[in-house]
Structure 1
Amino acid sequence: MGISIWQLLIVLGIVILLFGTKKLRNIGSDLGGAIRGFKKSMSDEEEKSADQSTLEGQQAEKTEAPAEEKPREKQS
């Protein structure tokens, strides 16, 4: 008991009659823009977290790498 192609076409026709093609086009473009914005923010967040982990790794290397040198005694 699935939905046939004819039933989908009838529903599509009713939706077009109720909202009009211009409004449906605007809704589609708005939805596409929202999806693009979401994907962009997700990729920006991933890059930010990758940069943050790289930065933390570099800071850890800086604190561990230099061993304290003993001060030299003055020679007369």
Structure 2
Amino acid sequence: MSDAGQALARTLQAPLPPGFDTVDDADLARLHGFLTKAVEHRSTSLDDAITGSLKHTPRLMRPAVKKALGL
């Protein structure tokens, strides 16, 4: 398997399906880039959602809620 295929498999945390052997390295690298950006966007969105939801929590309860969420 190529370096791009190995990087994609590590990001997915799973082996690539058998058909991915026919995909060239440039396309695998592009797919890996798209997947990496999507994971980063999801992480940022979740952080923003958690921070935004804490605004609806009474101020005196925020430290306890943060501790419960592991923040």
For 2:44 and 2:58, the matched residues in 1 are separated by: 21
Aligned match of 2:4: none
Aligned match of 2:53: 49
Aligned match of 1:40: 44
Determine which of 17, 21, 24 is the counterpart of 1:20.
24
Residue segments in structure 1 that go unaligned for 5+ positions in a row: 1-10, 58-76
What secondary structure, in the 3-state scheme, does the structure 2 residue paired with 1:52 have?
Answer: coil
Higher relative contact order (CA 8 A, sep 6+): 2
For 1:41 and 1:54, the matched residues in 2 are separated by: 22
Residue segments in structure 2 that go unaligned for 5+ positions in a row: 1-15, 62-71
Q: In the TM superposition, what is the alpha-carbon distance from 1:51 to its structure 2 partner? A: 1.5
For 1:41 and 1:15, the matched residues in 2 are separated by: 30
Q: In the TM superposition, what is the alpha-carbon distance from 1:35 to its structure 2 partner? A: 0.5
For 2:24 and 2:48, the matched residues in 1 are separated by: 36
TM-score (norm: length of structure 2) = 0.51
TM-score (norm: length of structure 1) = 0.48
Identity score, percent = 14
